Amino acid sequence: MSSPSGYATSAAASRLTRLSRTRRGTAVVVLLVALPVLTAAVVGSSELSLGSALMLYVLLVVVVASVGGIGPGVLAAVASALTANWFLIPPRHTLAIENRDAVLELVVFLAVSLIVSVTVELAARERATASRSALEARVLADVSARAPGDLRPADVLEEVRRAFAMVAVALVRTRPGRTEEVVASVGTMPVGHVPAAPPVERYSGAVPAEPVQPAARLRAGDELELVAYGPALFAEDRGLLQRLAAAAARAWEGQRLAAHAVELAEADRMRAALLAAVGHDLRTPLAGLKAAVSSLRQDDVDWSPAERAELLGSIEESTDHLTDIIANLLDISRIEAGAVTAQVAPVALDEVVARTLLPVPAAQVDLDLSDTLPLVQADAGLLDRVVANLVDNARRHTPPGVPVEVRARLVGDRVDLQVRDHGPGVPREKWETIFVPFQRLDDKAVGGHTGLGLAIAQGFCDAMGAALTPSHTPGGGLTMTVRLVVAAP
């Protein structure tokens, strides 16, 4: 990007075609000082002809026109002609002219002076226009040289703010229904800056003054407009501003497409993980089902009642495993789609936990819940799934013969439900990643599972307004804590 000084030069160049009052005033001062001095020098010299004296006055006109433009230049030409007539052309100290040649010389002098004033003014304007065009090309080249994915809307808006000395610049999107949204902005946005609102406050430093409208509001795309607050713009500025507005719109569109590409890449990653996880985890129960059913269908084998019961138990266990996998896939798809609706109401935590742990062998869980715990705000169905997934995850990582600990205690205005395992634990730096769908510890399958349990638990906790946090278990392992708000009495 260009340096800030480059922007200031661009702003100045766009205004050189209209000289400031200061320069015009300076030109008038030069005229008032130089004209008497030059006249005194000419009157005091007896060797100068009228033509030579008028050439000196032409030089004065050129200097004044160069400083102040055409207005002071014309004033200098008229004042010089009158001064020459008064002091140099007989009869002196009157405006009458006796000699026709003197009249011709004076008329030619006045015409030449006027032509010189106009020529100097036009040349100055052409130089300013060329300078401004070069600077505009440089600014646009800086913007165009950057790849669409690397150019942010704020970068282009900062170009506009610095180039035109604006207080603030915003890119506004008009949504269906005529609602407006600021998608990017730079500078100090005034109070009530939405373009559809009443006139906003202009700021001079930190002190608000009278309400004013935006200095410019240009269409940048189908749904986008560029809105600038600051000094008024000249007509010459709007061409560059319109091109920068279009560049800001392209940058915003590129940013949106880049974000969409990231979403698509994440979706592809999820699909790949889903295929890898489901393909592995479905194979085990399906293989068990196939083996048990094939065995029972063998006509040449006479199975004993105990063997038949064992095979049927294997079928039931594999079916339950498949049911759990499908339920988890449906749950994570609802969470990812934002389709989880929680019916939050006062719930007895001990009843939900006891009902959830009924299928779990008693030797595998150490349950410690007080009957005096207050009711909590939760969705009983979602809380049941949260507890089931946390206990299932803890059981997989706890060594054989060591029970999973389930504890609950009242902490201020909340109840903390803790599920502790005594396995290898998870390093603190990996606590964020354990909630990623299809994420397994060290990316390895433990007991054949999809890696969805903690992701589902966190999604359901978020839907209920509860918090799920990991911590270290004293002595080794991982503790998952569900923080539930106590229900109002």
What pLDDT is recorded for position 276? 64
Residue 243 in contact with residue 140, Cβ under 8 Å? yes
For a pLDDT cut of 90, what percent of the chain falls above it?
19
User: Do 277-336 and 341-485 agree at the fold level?
Assistant: no
Choose which CATH entry (3.40.50.1220, 3.30.70.960, 2.102.10.10, 3.30.565.10) describes domain 341-485: 3.30.565.10
Q: What is the CA radius of gyration of the chain?
A: 43
Q: How is the chain split into domains, by residue range?
A: 17-140, 277-336, 341-485
Average pLDDT, the chain: 80
Window from 213-227, 249-263, 433-447 with minimum mean pLDDT: 433-447
The tokens for 351 are 């009843």
Q: Angle at CA 224, nearest 5°, toward 222 and 229?
A: 145
pLDDT tens-digit series, residues 266-325: 777 766 766 665 666 677 788 888 888 988 888 888 888 898 899 898 898 888 878 877
pLDDT at 307: 87
Question: Over pLDDT 70: what percentage of the chain?
Answer: 82
Q: Assess whether pLDDT exceeds 70 at residue 13.
A: no
Task: Report the amino acid identity of residue 275.
Answer: L
Is residue 8 pLDDT above 80, yes or no? no
CATH topology classification for 277-336: Helix Hairpins (1.10.287)
Asked if pLDDT for residue 176 goes beyond 80, the answer is: no
The answer on pLDDT for 403 being more than 90 is yes
For the stretch 447-473, pLDDT in tens is 445 567 888 888 899 999 999 999 999
- Full-model pTM: 0.47
User: In terms of DSSP bridges, do strands 200-204 and 404-411 run parallel, antiparallel, or are they unpaired?
Assistant: unpaired
**Assign residue 127 a region: left if phi > 0, alpha if psi is -120 to 50, beta otherwise?**
alpha
Separation of alpha carbons 32 and 87, rounded Å:
16
What is the mean predicted confidence (pLDDT) over 245-252?
83
User: pLDDT tens, 24-63?
Assistant: 889 899 999 999 999 998 888 877 888 888 889 989 998 9
Q: 244, 236 in Cβ contact below 8 A?
A: no
